[in-house]
Amino acid sequence: MLSGKQKRFLRSLGHGLKPVILVGKGEVGASLVQETAAALESHELIKVKILESCLADRHEVAAELADACGAEVAQVLGRTALLYRKGEEPKIQLPA
């Protein structure tokens, strides 16, 4: 579980990132979970864009995707979510 200080730190790092994953009509499926897990493996922190065509609630989509990948939701702002999962060799040093 991320603390408030850690979430703020991750939000500051994620500000300049471009969305890596797009969630559309298909919503959260097996292939989307695989793509997201692979992106988290290489980047640790990713942005997920939830398109207008996605009918599910944006918070539910972010939580479902994070649970499926073993990640944590650092932020949901508008239709963009920021997901974080610590890598085997961490690149991001979180504050205590």
Opening angle at CA 4, ends 46 and 42, nearest 5? 20
Are 82 and 45 in contact by the 8 Å Cβ rule? The answer is yes
Residue 42 in 3-state DSSP?
helix
pTM: 0.92
Exposed / middle / buried, residue 49 (Cβ in 10 Å: 0-12, 13-18, 19+): middle
How many domains are there within the chain?
A: 1
Per-residue pLDDT of the chain (96 residues; tens, 9 = 90+): 899 999 999 999 999 999 999 999 877 889 999 999 999 999 999 999 999 999 899 999 999 999 999 999 999 999 999 999 999 888 999 998
Opening angle at CA 84, ends 34 and 8, nearest 5? 160
Question: Is position 90 within any domain?
Answer: no
Domain boundaries, position 47: 4-84
Question: Is position 96 within any domain?
Answer: no
